[in-house]
């Protein structure tokens, strides 16, 4: 019997881990094996998942992107999880800079993959703010079985307008725990093989598939008290694409800070660590600007 594989892909800060959490609370996915890939060396989301979903086996791959690394390494991790939990599904959450086309192409051509695994669903997550700013991946939309739109409440557009931007036959907007269409779709077998050919043809016509240009990833220790709203304001001032980590608020609470340039969330931390920020952007000068501001606090 082949192990079902689910892939969750999407750009930085789109809400992939939130969608994964909504899947893991469903009875049929409790106890699933999770492979959490983080481009930074500090796996913020992996810690969050492991502390929240204690009945799932969370394997963290940090400091690299699985779409560019040797696919045999990922297959070997999946084989080890299959051996440890033979009846559990495996859900893989990629980094926010990954290309689903590169990842799937490598995996399906690797040794042993087809003997042991079946791709069930490819889920592409995109936030409505990114759609409004034109920051979607045409290849990942084309390859996906389901496109999930998050943060719809933050834009002043109708569902019909969002659908026109996405141009996909299976779009889920405003996902909630009772969305039977989305969760029923997870039981279907992926049609990725047909769409993979289309995506590869599009690539051969010059639509090159590459990483997002977020090449600067810095972990900053934070030894000052920071209010999340002010940190996000500075993130916007310096034009930093992605920040996540742990900060200490003026109320004395250790907070999980998770933000894109357009939106942030701050919640009470579910694990203990020294405060830090992982900063991801395309320009080292932006990070230095934020670091200088932190030093003045």
Q: Which domains does the chain possess?
A: 3-204 (3.40.50.300), 216-295 (3.30.1220.10)
**Model confidence, pTM:** 0.76
Q: 93 near 38, Cβ under 8 Å?
A: no
Phi and psi torsions of 136, nearest 5°: -120, 160
Residue appearing with tokens 């000068």:
285
13 has a pLDDT exceeding 50: yes
What local confidence, expressed as pLDDT, does residue 161 receive? 67
The overall average pLDDT reported for the chain is 81
Where does residue 64 fall: left (phi above 0), alpha (psi -120 to 50 degrees), or beta otherwise?
A: beta
CB 183 within 8 A of CB 26: yes
Position 207 scores a pLDDT of 46
Decide if pLDDT at 297 tops 90.
no
- Beta carbons within 8 Å of 68's beta carbon, 6+ residues apart: 102, 211
175: pLDDT confidence band, cut at 50, 70 and 90?
confident
The pair of structure tokens assigned to 138 is: 């045409």
DSSP conformational letter for 249: -
Query: Do 118 and 9 contact (CB within 8 A), yes or no?
Result: no
Phi, psi angle pair for 64, to nearest 5°: -160, 170
CA atoms of 8 and 256, how far apart (whole Å): 22
| Band of residue 231 on the pLDDT scale cut at 50, 70, 90 | very high
């Amino acid at each position: 019997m082949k192990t079902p594989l689910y892939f969750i892909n999407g750009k930085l800060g789109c809400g992939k881990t939130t969608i994964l959490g909504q899947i893991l609370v469903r009875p049929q996915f409790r106890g699933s094996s999770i492979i959490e890939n983080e481009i930074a060396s500090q796996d913020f989301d992996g810690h969050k998942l492991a502390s929240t979903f204690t009945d799932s086996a969370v394997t963290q791959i940090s400091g690299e992107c699985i779409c560019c690394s040797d696919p045999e390494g990922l297959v070997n991790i999946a084989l080890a999880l299959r051996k440890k939990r033979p009846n559990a599904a495996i859900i893989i959450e990629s980094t926010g800079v990954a290309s689903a086309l590169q990842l799937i192409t490598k995996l399906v051509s690797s040794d042993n993959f087809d003997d042991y695994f079946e791709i069930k669903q490819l889920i592409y997550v995109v936030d409505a703010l990114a759609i409004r700013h034109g920051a979607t991946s045409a290849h990942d939309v084309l390859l996906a079985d389901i496109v999930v739109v998050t943060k719809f409440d933050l834009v002043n557009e109708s569902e019909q307008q969002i659908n026109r931007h996405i141009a996909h036959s299976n779009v889920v907007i405003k996902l909630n725990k009772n969305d039977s269409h989305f969760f029923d779709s997870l039981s279907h077998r992926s049609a990725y093989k047909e769409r993979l050919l289309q995506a590869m043809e599009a690539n051969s016509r010059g639509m090159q598939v590459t990483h997002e240009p977020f090449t600067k990833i810095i972990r900053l220790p934070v030894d000052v008290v920071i209010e999340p709203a002010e940190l996000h304001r500075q993130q916007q001032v310096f034009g930093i694409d992605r920040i996540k980590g742990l900060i200490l608020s003026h109320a004395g609470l250790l907070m999980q800070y998770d933000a894109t340039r357009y939106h942030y969330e701050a919640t009470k931390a579910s694990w203990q660590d020294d405060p830090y920020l992982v900063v991801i952007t395309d320009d080292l000068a932006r990070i230095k600007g934020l670091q200088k501001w932190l030093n003045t606090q």
